[in-house]
Structure 1
Amino acid sequence: MKHLRLLLNFYVHSSIHVALAVLAMTYVTLLELDLAVDWSLLFFVMFSTITGYNFVKYFGLAKFHHRSLANWLKIIQVFSLVCFLLMIWFALQLVPQVLVWVGIFGLVTFLYAVPFLPRHLFMDQKSNLRNIGGIKVYVIAVVWAGVTVLLPVLNQDARFDLSVWITALQRFILVILLMLPFEIRDLQYDSLRLATIPQKIGVKNTKIIGIVLAMVFLMFEFVKPNVTYKLILLTMVITIITVLFIVFSSQEREDYYSSFWVEGVPIIWLILHFVF
């Protein structure tokens, strides 16, 4: 059991799980918009997610403790380097217009982790996008929506019709919903100046807002052109699962409630697509 626990810790903390979630959400886009499955894009999304997330999570640790890094962090560093090289390899197989947007999303990720703004204006003397009050969840949602919807459409030179934009908006809403259990969990640790949603309106109201947003997410499915009963059913199921995770979230939940189960919702979504 000890070894299994160590493997699970590595799987989660090295961002493999979240990378598979982003890959799954991208795959769902390909299925829902009737686009060809492009493994070069899917692998690029997976390896770039690992690279980006590990950079954001461990930049500060590596910067200030590089001579005394714990063994687990050294392993994650090496793993991230391998993923970065694989990301470059698969990026070279994408079309040029995709690479332009990859550069934009990559810049946002870089600024999310690296201080670049006047320190006296922001929280805890950290001046990156991650610490600007109230925008953290929206930055993440924009990047996820862009990567999982816009990149697949651009890479196949498909038309940006109403279905694409509705799908992108749904992804934006879904990522915000999936972030709420994290914000509730971290309520006791986050600086008040971060102005997270639970800090501003409380846990109960956060859950209410989550339920309302989930209903909006579901309703958008009904206004898509050429929507099918299968897609409506799958969207209903994933909405219910997401709402339940939000309703039962609390500050006392263990880390894996959010970092494994909640982040696994897109993976469940893809599995349901295959099952049905």
Structure 2
Amino acid sequence: MSFLRKLFYIIIYTNLLIAMAAMAQCALTYIIFERSINWYIVSVEGTATLLLYNFSLWWSKPKNPKESKFPRTRWIFNHEWIMWLNNGIALLVLGYCLWHIHMYSFLFLGFIGVLSLLYGMPLFKFQDRKVGLRQIPGAKIFHIALVWVCSSVVLPYVELTNVGVSINHWVLIALCVLKFIFLLICTLPFDIRDIQQDSYYHLRTLPNMLGEQKAKNLTYLLLALHCILVVLAPYTMLIKIGLLLTNVLIFALLKLAVFKTKDHYHYAYLLDGSLVLQFFIVFLAVVFSPAA
């Protein structure tokens, strides 16, 4: 059990879990579009996500990281070679996969990269100082959700349309809206958990502004809204069932673990795992259906 616990933390600390989540969400888009998964696009999504999250870590590196009061910061910069090894492998895979995608997809990926860098780069003026989007009050989770929608939904759509595959626009719009709300649901608990840490870094996140309990209520409200929209979405019944089962699981995680105690810092990362699990639930629901 001790080995599994250490492995879990390593996957979290090295950003491998969030990279797998990005790949899973991208692959899920192809299932909802009812098209074959393009593993070059999925691999681009995973490696680019890993590189961007690692860059964000490096960009926000404190002056004395090994003396930080946050365990993740201490671990990362005590094992910095792992981050650079991951970056090297990710760059090689990314470079290989970029040769196999359409030029317009490549250009759109550049747009996503610029949009992602706005998260931390001090390009905006706020209260007489230059800040990134993460420092603008309340903007953090909406920016993260927008980047994920662009990368995990719009990027596959761009690639498909440029190879002559037609996608129903209502399916695309529904997926963009549902994905945006789903990412808010999975991001809010992190900001609720990190209220004190964000205050330390002078970040005015939505939970900082609303208060802890109202932010928790908002998470449940968004989960209920997501369920309603899934039922109304122009998807097959099996896809709807898969998405709704994931929502039930997330509700249980929030109620029984994530929002139940503050003692276990890592519980919120179960929601990153749910991004991966959502793909597998929908995939299995479709593959093992009687009509498959």
Give the TM-score, by structure 1 length.
0.88
Which stretches in structure 2 are left out of the alignment for 5+ residues?
66-75, 286-292
Post-superposition offset of 1:52: 0.8
- 1:194 alignment counterpart: 203
**2:233 pairs with 1:224:** yes
**2:142 pairs with 1:133:** no
Which stretches in structure 1 are left out of the alignment for 5+ residues?
none
Is the CA contact 2:112–2:147 (under 8 Å) kept in the aligned structure 1?
Answer: yes
Q: Which runs of 4+ in 1 moved over 4 A?
A: 1-6, 62-65
For residues 85-124 of structure 1, the aligned pairs below 5 Å read 85-118=92-125, 121=128
SS of 2:248 mapped into structure 1:
helix
Aligned-pair Cα RMSD in Å = 2.5
- 1:265 alignment counterpart: 274
**2:158 pairs with 1:154:** yes
Range 155-164 or range 26-35, more displaced: 155-164
Post-superposition offset of 1:133: 1.5
Task: Letter of the 1:183 partner, please give it.
Answer: D
Post-superposition offset of 1:30: 0.7
- 1:27 alignment counterpart: 27
Is the CA contact 1:51–1:81 (under 8 Å) kept in the aligned structure 2?
Answer: no
Post-superposition offset of 1:231: 1.8
Q: Which has the higher contact order (CA 8 A, sep 6+)?
A: 1
Judged with a 3 Å threshold, the aligned counterparts in structure 2 of structure 1 residues 52 and 252 are, in CA distance, closer, same or farther, namely same
Post-superposition offset of 1:73: 1.3
Cα deviation per residue 1:171-222 (whole Å; 9 max; x = unaligned)? 0000000011101110122128533222222222212211221122122223
SS of 1:262 mapped into structure 2:
helix
Is the CA contact 1:40–1:90 (under 8 Å) kept in the aligned structure 2?
Answer: yes
Post-superposition offset of 1:51: 0.5
Task: Letter of the 2:45 partner, please give it.
Answer: V
Judged with a 3 Å threshold, the aligned counterparts in structure 2 of structure 1 residues 155 and 190 are, in CA distance, closer, same or farther, namely same
Count of matched residue pairs: 269
